[in-house]
């Protein structure tokens, strides 16, 4: 008896995804709860686990795009020895092999014994499995073996061979739809990157975005942070960062100017009476924005813990869709990458986003004297349909005042 492995529903608006990697290969013994593959969608990556014990037989290759509900594998009940044999080809396959191959393939290198990814490389590159040394269990061919054979063949001289279309282009087609040449590499955008691109273009086309700037002196926050760091770390088990100060300052600014904590729906303007602050986090896959819920009610330690947890899970691809939904305002910190000034793009349907930047020592006038202070440029991008310039400037000045005089914040450490 076999159990189908289907692509599960992982979010209300998600209809498809990509099988980015198989953690178990075709023919592997799996147990209930084992991670089978990672499904990459336009929002998150999710590990799909086995529901029953048995032997896995995959049906799609790594890099394949699949829809919710598609069958991507089956799990045959029993151990590897008791599972349906994959070493004896059917009569039809045997006939095909007789015509296409000069000698029969060994059991470990038969077409049925290959994983879909290996079979695809062998078929597309017209490789002879018998001439490839298998490094897998029982001499089984792996994807790496097949790719190594392709590379070895390309580096070997072939004076009599006529160049095919790929050779003329100087490109090699990769299993995951990637094409490389000496001058460029072409590859498909990931679902997340496509979603990010669509969101950014949509934000530019559907909002009246304007950006206003200011700067703040980070001296007071740096001194308070340095003074409180040891006690804070000892008490809470994590460090006190700058982001929690800016989240608290942003909440104060949103309370002072509620229009920035709003969104437009059709002809209606919805003012949010809660403060769910999105924090932009960069990952290898792209930018995600997990949300710190009810930031006005949380302590500095709770906010720092949320940020650390989200950052870790985002980079490991374990963040959940519900973690990314429902934010009312966003903060983006380009300063961690060295950005001195930028104009952040809105995160629809939100009406505002605050951009933090690099702390840079600069000469400034203080009480009629020139002093070198650690300064940070702040940028607020806002939807001018919902927010007027006066309100935007007032919000940014409120954030500046709270950072330059942290006593105006509800300090609880």
What tens digit of pLDDT does each residue of 363-378 get? 999 999 999 999 999 9
What number is the average pLDDT over the span 29-33? 90
Q: How many CB atoms lie within 10 A of CB 156?
A: 7
Identify which has the larger pLDDT, 78 or 171: 78
Q: Where are the alpha helices (DSSP H) in 207-318?
A: 219-236, 243-256, 300-315
Mean pLDDT of the chain, nearest integer: 83
Q: Domain residues of the chain, as ranges?
A: 2-186, 193-408
pTM of the model as a whole: 0.63
Which helix or strand (DSSP H or E) is residue 153 part of? helix 143-155
Q: What is the pLDDT of residues 135-172, one digit of tens each?
A: 776 677 777 777 777 767 655 554 444 444 444 444 44
Q: How far, in Å, CA of 8 to CA of 375, rounded?
A: 49
What number is the average pLDDT over the span 379-398? 97
% pLDDT > 90, the chain: 46
What number is the average pLDDT over the span 84-93? 45
Q: Where in the sequence numbering do the catalytic residues fall?
A: 384, 388
Q: How many CB atoms lie within 10 A of CB 347?
A: 21
Q: Which residue has the tokens 């940070």?
A: 376
Q: Which residue has the tokens 């072939």?
A: 158
| pLDDT score, position 161 | 41
CATH placement of domain 193-408: 3.30.559.10
Question: How would you classify the pairing of strands 277-279 and 329-333?
Answer: parallel
| pLDDT score, position 360 | 97
Q: Does domain 2-186 have CATH number 3.40.50.300?
A: no
Q: What is the pLDDT of residues 40-59, one digit of tens each?
A: 776 677 788 888 899 999 99
Give the least confident one: 149-163, 211-225, 334-348, 382-396.
149-163
Q: What is the pLDDT of residues 108-121, one digit of tens each?
A: 556 556 776 677 67
- Strand, coil or helix: 403: helix
Instruction: Tell me whether the CATH fold assigned to 2-186 matches the one assigned to 193-408.
Output: no
């Amino acid at each position: 008896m076999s159990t189908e492995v289907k692509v599960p529903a992982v979010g209300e608006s998600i209809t498809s995804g990509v099988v980015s990697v198989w953690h178990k290969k075709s023919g592997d013994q799996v147990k209930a709860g084992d991670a089978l593959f990672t499904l990459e969608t336009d929002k998150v990556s999710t590990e799909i686990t086995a529901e029953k014990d048995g032997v896995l037989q995959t049906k799609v290759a790594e890099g394949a795009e699949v829809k919710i509900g598609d069958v991507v594998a089956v799990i045959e009940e029993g151990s590897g020895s008791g599972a349906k044999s994959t070493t004896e080809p059917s009569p039809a396959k045997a006939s095909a092999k007789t015509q296409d191959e000069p000698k029969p393939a060994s059991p470990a290198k038969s077409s049925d014994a290959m994983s879909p990814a290996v079979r695809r490389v062998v078929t597309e590159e017209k490789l002879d499995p018998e001439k490839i040394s298998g490094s897998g269990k029982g001499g089984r061919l792996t994807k790496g073996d097949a790719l190594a054979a392709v590379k070895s063949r390309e580096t070997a001289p072939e004076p009599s061979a006529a160049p095919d279309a790929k050779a003329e282009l100087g490109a090699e087609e990769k299993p995951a739809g990637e094409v490389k040449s000496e001058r460029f590499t072409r590859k498909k955008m990931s679902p997340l990157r496509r979603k990010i691109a669509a969101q950014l273009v949509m934000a530019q086309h559907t909002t009246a975005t304007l950006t206003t700037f200011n700067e703040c002196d980070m001296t007071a926050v740096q001194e308070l942070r340095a003074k409180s760091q040891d006690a804070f770390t000892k008490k809470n088990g994590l460090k006190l960062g700058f982001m929690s100060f800016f989240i608290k300052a942003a909440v104060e600014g949103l309370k002072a100017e509620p229009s920035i904590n709003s969104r437009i729906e059709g002809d209606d303007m919805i003012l949010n009476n809660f403060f769910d602050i999105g924090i932009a986090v960069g990952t290898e896959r792209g930018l995600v924005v997990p949300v710190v819920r009810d930031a006005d009610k949380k302590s500095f330690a709770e906010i720092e813990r949320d940020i650390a947890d989200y950052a870790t899970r985002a980079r490991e691809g374990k963040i959940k869709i519900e973690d990314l939904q429902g934010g009312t305002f966003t903060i983006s910190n380009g300063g961690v990458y060295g950005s001195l000034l930028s104009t952040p793009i809105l995160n629809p349907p939100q009406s505002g986003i605050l951009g933090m930047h690099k702390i840079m020592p600069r000469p400034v006038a203080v009480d009629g004297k020139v002093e070198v202070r650690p300064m940070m440029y702040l940028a607020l991008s806002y939807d001018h349909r919902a927010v007027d310039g006066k309100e935007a400037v007032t919000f940014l000045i409120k954030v500046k005042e709270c950072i330059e005089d942290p006593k105006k914040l509800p300090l609880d450490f």
